[in-house]
């Protein structure tokens, strides 16, 4: 081993000396004239914009107006069957009898929107209900909705409150003046069809 190391040291030093001398040497051949390297110049190119392409001709307005559309009667049936790859769902929107009467001047529901069945509950097959309490304003809108009783808890509250905000009522009228009605409750029932 020692012999190999002693032999390797002069070989390595010699190789370094030879490489240094090769790098240091000028290899110019006096017989060969200096050659000029060709210049590579990229010509300027014009960028052409396609602004001259023809656009299609403008269509002329029809001479007679389109026929009037027939008024479609809206079906306000609150049974919402949601089409989805998950199990089918039906939602029952009903008003509890709390504070509600059908006498003259009482508030009456005009628009009721079915809530969207929460996808997480639908895919897991969870059914239940949620009671939302709110105030019917003098304009018939909903104010301050809050979930007061929901089963199971934490599943249907958000969808029920969001749907109740879209409700519209004919406000209660007392002495010819619309007034607010507080404590109105609505029960949303969430059931999956079998």
pLDDT in tens, 110-135: 888 888 889 888 888 888 999 999 99
At 14 the three-state DSSP class reads: helix
- Give yes or no for a contact between 189 and 96, defined as CB atoms under 8 angstroms apart: no
pLDDT in tens, 137-168: 988 899 999 999 998 888 899 999 999 999 99
Share of the chain above pLDDT 90, in %: 24
> What is the spatial distance between Cα 187 and Cα 147, in angstroms, rounded to a whole number?
10
> What is the spatial distance between Cα 29 and Cα 14, in angstroms, rounded to a whole number?
27
Place of tokens 């107006």: 65
pLDDT exceeds 60 at position 12: yes
28 or 172: whose pLDDT is higher? 172
The CATH topology of domain 93-192 is: TolA/TonB C-terminal domain (3.30.2420)
**Mean per-residue pLDDT, 67-89:** 54
Q: Is the pTM of this model over 0.75?
A: no
Residues in the chain: 194
**Mean per-residue pLDDT, 104-109:** 76
Rg (CA), the chain: 43
What dihedral angle (degrees, nearest 10) is formed by the CA atoms of 11, 17, 23, 24? -170
152 or 97: whose pLDDT is higher? 152
């Amino acid at each position: 081993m020692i012999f190999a190391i002693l032999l390797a040291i002069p070989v390595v030093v010699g190789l370094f000396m030879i490489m240094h001398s090769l790098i240091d040497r000028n290899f110019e051949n006096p017989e060969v004239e200096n050659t000029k390297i060709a210049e590579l110049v990229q010509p300027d190119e014009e960028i052409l914009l396609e602004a001259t392409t023809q656009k299609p001709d403008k269509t002329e307005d029809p001479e007679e107006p389109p026929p009037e559309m027939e008024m479609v009667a809206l079906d306000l049936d609150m049974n919402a069957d949601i089409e989805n790859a998950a199990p089918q769902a039906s939602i029952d929107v009903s008003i509890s009898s709390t504070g509600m009467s059908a006498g003259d001047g009482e508030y009456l529901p005009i628009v009721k929107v079915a809530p969207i069945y929460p996808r997480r509950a639908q895919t897991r097959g969870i059914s239940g209900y949620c009671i939302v309490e709110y105030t019917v304003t003098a304009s018939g809108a909903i104010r301050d909705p809050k979930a007061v009783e929901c089963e199971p808890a934490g599943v249907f509250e958000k969808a029920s409150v969001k749907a109740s905000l879209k409700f519209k009522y004919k406000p209660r009228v007392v002495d010819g003046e619309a007034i607010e009605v507080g404590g109105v409750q609505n029960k949303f029932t969430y059931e999956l069809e079998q």
